[in-house]
Structure 1
Amino acid sequence: MNTFQIKEAPTVYDVAIVGSGAGGGMAAYQLTKAGAKVVLLEAGGYFDPADPKYITQLKWPYESPRRGAGTTRPFGDFDAAWGGWDIEGEPYTAAKGTEFFWFRSRMLGGRTNHWGRISLRFGPDDFKRRSLTGVGEDWPISYEDISPYYDAVDKLVGIFGSKEGIRNEPDGFFLPPPKPRLHELMLKKAATSIGIPVIPSRLSILTKPINKDRGQCFYCAQCGRACQAYADFSSSSVLCIPAMKTGNLSLINHAMVREVLTDPNTGLATGVSYVDTISMQEKTVRAKTVMLAASTCETARLLLNSKSSRFPNGLANSSGVIGKYLNDSTGASRSAFIPALMDRKRYNEDGVGGMHVFTPWWLDNKKLDFPRGYHIEYGGGMGMPGYGFGGGIENLNGRIPGRNGQKKAAGGYGAGLKDDYRRFYGAYIGMAGRGEPVPLESNYCEIDPNNVDKYGIPTLRFNYKWSDYEVKQAKHMQDTFEEIIHALGGIALGSKPGPESNHGYGLEAPGKIIHEVGTVRMGNDPKTSALNKYQQAHDVKNLFVVDAAAFPSQGDKNVTWTILASSWRTSEYLFDQVKKKNL
C-alpha cells in the first residue's frame, strides 16, 4: 500500500541578500529593523571581533606564527583580512596585455573588517562629472538625493572630523577628531606653506561613545585587526550582529552563491542557488526579493552567470553593460626620512588606526592636463615596530648626521646598527595619493569560457588598462610628494618614480587599491545602464544591487560611506514599494 508523504514547503524569505559587507550589512540592518524576514548569505566564515576566539588586538608581533610575516594574510597574520588577491581554488585571469588584481574577502562583514576606515562623502561635483567636464558619466542622482542618508550614516555609525566648508568635500555630523601627532603637525606646516591644505581626517572611529552597545576608541592603532570594543565601523559588529538580534535575520555562512534564480514565465527573481563550501553540496534559498552586495566584480559575475532563455546574456543585462566600466582608485606613493625627527624621546604615539590628518583635492582640473583629482593620505610616527622596521636606511648612506655632526654611513651591524635603528625610530613619513579614474567601457570583467573555480562556478577574466589621464595624475602626485618632502627638509627614499615605473610614475596596478566600482551601473536609460536611480534592475523589478557595482564612477574619495548611504536609500525604497504593493 502506498503511503502519502507530506513535504514541508521551503521557507520563502522577504529578502535574500548576497554579501555581508557595507552594502549587504546596511540592507540587512535596515530591513530587519523594519520587520522584514531576511536571509543573508556570506561566502566566508562567521566573525565577531569581540569574541575572544577572534581577537588579535594588543598582541605583539612575535606572537605571530611567522613572527610577523604576512604569509597567510595580505596585511599580516593579525589583520582581520580573511581572503586576499589570491585564494586557493578561486582563480581569475586577465586578457593578454592587461592587468587587474581582484581582492576577495571571506568573512562576515567582508572588507569592512580591515579597511582604513577613511569615510568621505562624494561631493556635488562627483555626481555630475560629464555635465561639468564632458568626460565620464553623470549619476542619475544628485548630492541632494543622497545627502540625508549620509547624515543618517554619520549618526548611526559614527565618524570623526571637522567642519571645513569645502564645497566638494562636504561636511557631516562629526565626533571630535584626534589631535595630530608630531609628524602630522610637521606635515601640515610644510604642506600649507606651499599651498597644499591639510585638515583633520574623517574616519569611522568613535572618539566618544554614541550608544550603549559600542565602546570608545582606546588608541591602540590596530583598527585593521577589527575592534573588540566595537569602537570602529565594521559591518559585522555594527550592522550584521545587531540585525541578527532582531530575530528577523537568518545568516548562512560558507555560502558561495552560484546564480540568481528566476521564474521562467515572469522573469522575476525567486531566490539564489549556492554551494555550501563545507559540504560542497548545492542548495537554494527562496525569496520575494533579491539584493546583491557581493562586491563589484562578484556581483557582476553572479549576474553574468545567471543565464536563461529569457536572459541569454546574463540576468538584467539587456543593456549589455554588466561587467563594463569597471574602475578602481588610482594610487601612487612616496616615503621619506626626516632628520628633524631623529633621536626622539620615546612615548606612546599610537593614536587611531590610521591617519589623523589628510589632504583633500585642492586644485582646479581645468588648469591641469588630467580631468580628475586625488587626495593624499599620510603615515608615520612611533607606532609599534614590526619585523622589517627601519627598512630604507641603505638609501641614507652618507646622508644623515652622525652624533658628532658629521655625515656618516647608516646601518652596518652590531651596536652601530642598533644605535641607528633607535635614532631613526619615528623619523620616517609616507604619503599616498588616491585618485579618481575616468571610467571606460574598455575596462571590464567577463566570464572566462575556459575556467571554473573549485565549486564549479565559471570565473572572471579581466580587461583593464590605465589611460593617459591616470598616468598624468600619478605624475602630478609624485611631483607634489617631492614638494612636500622638500618643504619638510626631508630626504626622499629611493629614486623618484618616472614614466617607466610600475604603470607610469609609480601608479599601482588596477585593483591594488581595492576601491573598485561600476560593473552594474545605474542610470536613467535602460539601454545604457542596468539599474535605475534606486539601484533596482531595469529588467527585473525585484532585483537590487547595493554594493559599489551600481556606481557610474569613482570619486577622489574612498567609496564605503557612499555604499552605506546608497544601500540605506535603496532599502527604504524597497520597503516603500512593498507597502505600495508594487513588489
Structure 2
Amino acid sequence: MSIQIKKQATKYDVCIVGSGAGGGMAAKLLADAGFKIALLEAGPDFDPANKEQRTQLRWPWESPRRGAGSTRPFGDFDMAYGGWELEGEPYTQNENTEFAWFRSRMLGGRTNHWGRISLRFGPLDFKRKDFDGKGDNWPIGYEDVKPYYDKVDKLIGVFGTKENIPNEPDGFFLPPPKPRLHELYIKKGANKAGVPMIPSRLSILTKPVNKERGACFFCNQCSRSCMAYADFSSSSVLVKPAVETGNVDLYVNAMVREVLTNGDGEATGVSYIDKEDLRDYEIKAKVVILAASACSSARILLNSKSAQHPNGLANSSGVVGKYLHDSTGSSRMGFIPQLMDRERYNEDGVGGMHLYTPWWLNDSKDLGFTRGYHIEYWGGMSMPAYGFGFNTQALKEIAGDTSRNAYGTGLKKDVKKFYGATFGMAGRGESIPRKENYCEIDNHTVDKYGIPVLKFNYSWSDEEVKQARHMQDTFEEVMHNMGAVPLGDKPGKETNYGLENPGKIIHEVGTTRMGKDANSSVVNEFNQAHDVPNLFIMDGGPFVSQADKNPTWTILALAWRATDYLTEQLKKGNV
C-alpha cells in the first residue's frame, strides 16, 4: 500500500523547524520583514496565560497525584512538555554511554521552563584554543556577536550589574533584585574563600520594557512560565508577536522526518508527520531553517539522504552529529544552623538565584584542567514541595536532636523548624569538545512515527572529572567559611565527584559546528550550510565550544545575526 503524502498549496519564503530560542527569533525577525513563514513545532500550541494551560500560582495539593509521581520531569507544575524519556520516542546508547537526551514538545520548546540564566560568551570563550591548545577556535569573535547581544538585551530584557570582568561581558541591564538571606550567608563564606558572588543575569523583567509584557511580581515560579510574560519564553516574547503580523502559519504537533531536496541537492522544504492524524505532509519553501535543538537538527539532517547527499544533508564533511558536548554539572546541599526556626516572611523573589559566581580563575595555570565553571545557588523560603520533610531526621541529628517524628504534628514541627535553612550549590562548567563524542542514526530502531532514532556515543574526559572535583572542594570551603554544615557525604572519585551524566544539564551543543573549512564543519560563520546555501541551522548545533555559560543568549544572538544575513541574501535573490 502506498503512503499518501499531502502537500501544502502555499510555497513559503522560509520554513522554520523548531520554535525555541533560535527558531522563535528567526520567525519574529523574518515576519517583521514581511516574509511568509511556515513555523513547525513537534508539540502543541502553548500560552502560559491560557487558563487551561496555566500552572503558575497553583498550590501543591492541586496536583492530581499529590506528590506521588509526576507526568513531567521537574514536577507537575513545571512548564515542560517533554523530558529525557518520551513514550514512543526512544534513543539508544553505545556501550559505556549514559547520555540523557531532553526533548521539549511544546511551542517555545525549552525556553518555557529554563532557569533564564542569560550570560554572554566572552572574548576568551570564542578563542579557547589560543589559550589552552585544546579543541578549536570559533571562526568569529566576541566583537562579531556583541552588536547582537546588545540587541537581544534590549528586545527581551535582562537584569544584572556592570562588573567590568574581562570574560564576563556587561550588557544593557535592568535593576537586579536584592539578595535573599541565605545568599548573604553564602556570600560571606565565598568572600573568605576568594570566590566572587555578583548579581545574577536573568532574562526576567524587573520593570516593564513594552506594553505587551508585565513586570515580574516575584512569585518565584518562572519554571511554570509567566502568565504576565515577565520572563523570557520564545512562545510569549517571539512567536506570539510573529504570528500576530499575519506572516506566520503555525504548524503544531508536526514531527519533521526530513528536509526535502531537488536534483541539484538544494533544500525545497520538509516532510513531517501530523501527530494527530499520523499522515505525512510536505511543506515547500525557498529556504529551510533547522532550529529543532542540536541533536534533533542533526537527526533530521542525517535522515535526509539523497543521491546528492548520500551521508545525510549538509554532511560532506562527515561531522554532522560529531563534537556533541554538554555542560558539566556537580552539586552539593548544605544546612545553615543559624537559620533554624527563622521568622516567616515573603522572600520569594524571581524564579532563580539573585546572586551567582562567575568563573574567577581564568589566569590560573595549575588547576589540572583548563576550562572553567560558574556556580548557581538555591535556597530560601520558596513554596515547600512534597517530600521536603524527608530530610528532617538528618537535619535534626546535625542540630543535636535525636527524637524521631515521622508523621503528624511532630513532623509538621520539624518541617517548620528547618524550613528556609537548607541551600544548594551547583557548578556548571565547560567541557572539551571532542570528535569521538557524537550522535548517529540507529538504523535498527525507529520511533512510533517510523523515523530512525539517534544513538549516542559519549564519555567524559579527565578534564571534566578534575573540574567536578574542584567544584566539590570549592563548595566545602565556602560552606565551612559560612558556618554551614554539608549534607551527606562529599562525592568522591568513585562517582566522578558527583559529575552528572552528559545531557543532564540540558545544554547540549556542537553537532553542526561552525567553521570556515567545509571539510571540517557544517555551517559557515552565518549559520549557513556549506553544502546547501538555502539551508540554515539556528540552534545550539553550530557552537564550536560551549563556554561555562548557559547557551540560550548566544543562540538568540547568533540567530539574529544569521537572520540579518539571510534577509540580505533573500532580498538580493542569492538564496
Does the TM-score normalized on the shorter chain lie above 0.5? yes
Structure 1 residue 394: Cα displacement:
3.2
Partner residue in 1 for 2:479: 485
Partner residue in 1 for 2:273: 275
2: CA distance, partners of 1:92 / 1:174: 40
1:572 counterpart SS class: helix
- AA at the equivalent of 1:454: K
CA contact (8 A) 1:393 1:410 kept: no
Structure 1, gaps ≥5 residues long: 1-6, 402-406
- Report matched runs for 1:357-376 at 5 Å: 357-363=355-361, 364-376=363-375
- Which of 340, 343, 346 in structure 1 is aligned with 2:344? 346
- AA at the equivalent of 1:325: Y
Partner residue in 2 for 1:3: none
CA contact (8 A) 1:257 1:302 kept: yes
In the superposition, the TM-score normalised over structure 1's length comes to: 0.96
Structure 2, gaps ≥5 residues long: 1-5
2: CA distance, partners of 1:9 / 1:396: 62
Partner residue in 2 for 1:547: 539
Partner residue in 1 for 2:418: 424
CA contact (8 A) 1:328 1:554 kept: yes
CA contact (8 A) 2:432 2:545 kept: yes
1: CA distance, partners of 2:7 / 2:292: 30
Structure 1 residue 412: Cα displacement:
4.7
- Which of 439, 446, 462 in structure 2 is aligned with 1:452? 446
- Report matched runs for 1:392-431 at 5 Å: 392-401=391-400, 408-409=402-403, 411-431=405-425
1:102 counterpart SS class: coil
- Report matched runs for 1:317-336 at 5 Å: 317-336=315-334
- AA at the equivalent of 2:427: G
Structure 1 residue 367: Cα displacement:
2.5
2:390 counterpart SS class: coil
CA contact (8 A) 1:398 1:410 kept: no
Partner residue in 2 for 1:223: 222
Does 1:56 pair with 2:50? no
2: CA distance, partners of 1:338 / 1:493: 10
Does 1:82 pair with 2:54? no
- AA at the equivalent of 1:72: T
Partner residue in 1 for 2:3: none
- AA at the equivalent of 1:306: S
Structure 1 residue 302: Cα displacement:
0.3
Give the 3 Å change call, closer, same or farther, for CA 46–11 of structure 1 in structure 2: same
2:559 counterpart SS class: helix
- Which of 513, 525, 529 in structure 1 is aligned with 2:521? 529
CA contact (8 A) 1:336 1:491 kept: yes
Structure 1 residue 70: Cα displacement:
4.5
Partner residue in 2 for 1:512: 504
CA contact (8 A) 2:8 2:281 kept: no
Partner residue in 1 for 2:179: 180
2: CA distance, partners of 1:409 / 1:143: 58
CA contact (8 A) 1:273 1:285 kept: yes
CA contact (8 A) 2:8 2:283 kept: no
CA contact (8 A) 2:214 2:230 kept: yes
CA contact (8 A) 1:390 1:425 kept: no
Partner residue in 1 for 2:548: 556
Partner residue in 2 for 1:474: 468
2: CA distance, partners of 1:161 / 1:390: 34
Partner residue in 2 for 1:247: 246
Does 1:570 pair with 2:534? no
1: CA distance, partners of 2:8 / 2:551: 41
1: CA distance, partners of 2:407 / 2:226: 38
Partner residue in 2 for 1:200: 199
CA contact (8 A) 1:396 1:409 kept: no
Give the 3 Å change call, closer, same or farther, for CA 225–471 of structure 1 in structure 2: same
CA contact (8 A) 1:99 1:510 kept: yes
Structure 1 residue 409: Cα displacement:
4.6
CA contact (8 A) 1:333 1:478 kept: yes
Structure 1 residue 411: Cα displacement:
4.4
Structure 1 residue 414: Cα displacement:
4.1
More displaced, 418-427 or 544-553? 418-427
More displaced, 362-371 or 57-66? 362-371
1:140 counterpart SS class: coil
CA contact (8 A) 2:7 2:281 kept: no
CA contact (8 A) 1:365 1:373 kept: no
More displaced, 160-169 or 128-137? 128-137
2: CA distance, partners of 1:581 / 1:418: 69
Partner residue in 2 for 1:236: 235
CA contact (8 A) 1:90 1:453 kept: yes
1:500 counterpart SS class: helix
Give the 3 Å change call, closer, same or farther, for CA 397–420 of structure 1 in structure 2: closer
1: CA distance, partners of 2:532 / 2:69: 43
Q: Deviations over 1:522-555 (max 9, x none)?
A: 1010010011000100000000000000111111
2: CA distance, partners of 1:479 / 1:8: 59
1:11 counterpart SS class: strand
Q: Deviations over 1:104-123 (max 9, x none)?
A: 00000000000000000000
Aligned-residue CA RMSD (Å): 1.3
Structure 1 residue 304: Cα displacement:
0.2
Q: Deviations over 1:435-493 (max 9, x none)?
A: 00001101000000100000000000000000000000000000000011111111111
2: CA distance, partners of 1:36 / 1:580: 14
Give the 3 Å change call, closer, same or farther, for CA 8–317 of structure 1 in structure 2: closer
Structure 1 residue 327: Cα displacement:
0.3
CA contact (8 A) 2:42 2:253 kept: yes
CA contact (8 A) 1:399 1:408 kept: no
1: CA distance, partners of 2:456 / 2:321: 9
1: CA distance, partners of 2:193 / 2:327: 26
CA contact (8 A) 1:443 1:463 kept: yes
Partner residue in 2 for 1:11: 10
1:392 counterpart SS class: helix
1: CA distance, partners of 2:364 / 2:107: 40
2: CA distance, partners of 1:426 / 1:300: 44
2: CA distance, partners of 1:214 / 1:138: 38
Structure 1 residue 188: Cα displacement:
1.0
1:314 counterpart SS class: coil
Partner residue in 2 for 1:4: none
Give the 3 Å change call, closer, same or farther, for CA 15–382 of structure 1 in structure 2: same
2: CA distance, partners of 1:523 / 1:116: 30
Structure 1 residue 398: Cα displacement:
3.5
CA contact (8 A) 1:396 1:410 kept: no
In the superposition, the TM-score normalised over structure 2's length comes to: 0.97
2:209 counterpart SS class: coil
CA contact (8 A) 1:69 1:77 kept: no
Partner residue in 1 for 2:100: 101
Structure 1 residue 366: Cα displacement:
1.9
More displaced, 287-296 or 52-61? 52-61
Give the 3 Å change call, closer, same or farther, for CA 89–412 of structure 1 in structure 2: closer
